[in-house]
Structure 1
């Protein structure tokens, strides 16, 4: 067994790797060896100092695959040597949301790498009930399950149906995954972004069309042109800015649906009567549920598309400081970044 080390974002713009004690599993917990981890938008925004839920110093990371080293007897049939991923959203179990089964939006939600210590250590422990069997997926693809679940849950919230015309505002990882999820549900999907390179990538990944978000007037004209003047049945907000939420309000049809996945810390001043006038259905989407993880693992296993196509960069564990620095500087061209913990 290697020595244990952890990646820390100590403050905005600063990443350090520190030695750590080997974790000892408590009752009901498994000992895991990290294999791959994905750097997500919340990790990047924590590094930048503009993430709403960031704490410092903290170990980032909640997208990962791991190998089980030790595990107690369990009903899921998980055994040492298996590859797993995990649900990283810790819930209290007693609030009104939890009592109704909405564990993803627990009022005291504690997401790994955000509100509590994350996964980016060589060795971690987690409760057995949070672990999901990879069912034959390799470690790199398995590390991509959680970010796809975020998008998949939002698309389900938006009630996407076959034949819907859907606009995804934001061409980052969550936006591209939302486009793929919406297409899985039978929709015709456009992606809007301010960065032409991201739109090119969206087209390569299967978007039915793209919109360069160069300004409110041009954006609305492009939305109308794409839909024959009808506007979109649904819009998925995958950025987390007031302006992109406004884009969604503007781009959907009367009785349309807007689902907000993006996380931001800014306020929005807008003509809210448009919600009433259009009779809009507006949904928030937070985290994901066990059934989302199960669905996405099964979806990846089918091979309809390759989730690895979204990976643009890969770094060794020890190069995590450079990975976040590069991601910060080149976020227009970098999409999903993986860390290899086996090095």
Structure 2
């Protein structure tokens, strides 16, 4: 089979990514062999290829999200055999692409307990793009214990995770869902421009909540000034869930009023999609399948993505970080 290949020349050298011919993986107990139809290149895949995930082992096939068809299962007893021929989709959790060969290949072994049937309302291409965004948004929604009585603020609402979180909050029937983003063309409730974004956020939230603040913040941006401003907008028993932080040598420390935080009983919740097993991540996808089927949770359109063949994926996918890319494995 054709696959992408991450390897290191030495323990201290950065990984190099190439295309390679590899043997189709052999079935092992508890797993299914899936022929990959499409696999997206997520931002975390690009970071992984740069060696920024310390728990990745080498050599490794990268790739987290996928859609495909089950060709065979190791356990053919009972209902397990019924998976053969089904269209499935999924994402990595803490394994695929990190310590187990991932989905940027024509075939991949997936634990049988992590198989999730693809909803009919998603095309195979769309299904390959939603694993990380949908499960990450679901982690935020779940950990923050969002209910219909909450006012929710989503930072970075025009991104993949932010858009999914906003849709989920609306599907729950939250009292109010406020969206904040830097780009005005996405028509957020609050535009946080490049100049004094924290002031724009503070004034925008205050104006739209009559100064009462919000019950939940879902932060997909990871900007420390925005984070500080958003924390101050939390109401009593407020919950702050975030998925990102500054990278590189930038400061990763913030200061906030601990007196006000304890008086309001604020809860802070870091949400890391790569900290869960692939089986737990599959449960998250199953939980959102009903929203997908009902049309309450929509994936981005196929036309929003550039579709590449595997041989093009390194130069035009991994190395062009602004691109939304899906690899066609046919």
Q: Does TM-score exceed 0.5, indicating one fold?
A: yes
1:151-300 equivalences under 5 Å are 151-170=137-156, 171-187=158-174, 188-193=176-181, 195-196=182-183, 199-201=184-186, 203=187, 209-214=189-194, 215=196, 216-262=198-244, 267-271=252-256, 273=258, 274-287=260-273, 289-300=281-292
- Kept in 1, the 8 Å contact 2:87–2:117? The answer is yes
Moved more, 260-269 or 140-149: 260-269
- Kept in 2, the 8 Å contact 1:237–1:244? The answer is no
Closer/same/farther in 2, CA of residues 30 and 319 from structure 1, 3 Å limit: same
- Kept in 1, the 8 Å contact 2:40–2:66? The answer is yes
Which residue pairs with 2:76 in the alignment? 73
d(CA) in 1 for partners of 2:15 and 2:159?
21
- Kept in 2, the 8 Å contact 1:87–1:131? The answer is no
Closer/same/farther in 2, CA of residues 138 and 319 from structure 1, 3 Å limit: same
State the TM-score, normalized to the length of structure 2. 0.80
CA displacement, residues 240-278 of structure 1 (integer Å, 9 cap, x when unaligned): 444443343133223211112336666313135142243
1:314 aligns with 2:306: yes
Aligned-partner SS, 2:139:
helix
Closer/same/farther in 2, CA of residues 298 and 141 from structure 1, 3 Å limit: farther
1:130 aligns with 2:142: no
Moved more, 175-184 or 7-16: 7-16
d(CA) in 2 for partners of 1:131 and 1:211?
39
Closer/same/farther in 2, CA of residues 177 and 257 from structure 1, 3 Å limit: same
Q: What displacement does 1:313 show?
A: 1.7
**Count of aligned pairs:** 305
- Kept in 1, the 8 Å contact 2:190–2:204? The answer is no
Moved more, 317-326 or 77-86: 77-86
Aligned-partner SS, 2:69:
strand
Return the match for 1:88 from 71, 88, 92.
Answer: 92
Q: What displacement does 1:119 show?
A: 1.6
d(CA) in 2 for partners of 1:60 and 1:173?
20
Aligned-partner SS, 1:133:
coil
Aligned-partner SS, 1:73:
coil
- Kept in 2, the 8 Å contact 1:155–1:178? The answer is yes
Structure 2 gaps of 5+ residues are 9-13, 274-279
Return the match for 2:317 from 309, 318, 323.
Answer: 323
Return the match for 2:23 from 21, 24, 27.
Answer: 21
Moved more, 302-311 or 174-183: 302-311
d(CA) in 1 for partners of 2:62 and 2:32?
20
Closer/same/farther in 2, CA of residues 45 and 242 from structure 1, 3 Å limit: farther
Which residue pairs with 1:96 in the alignment? none
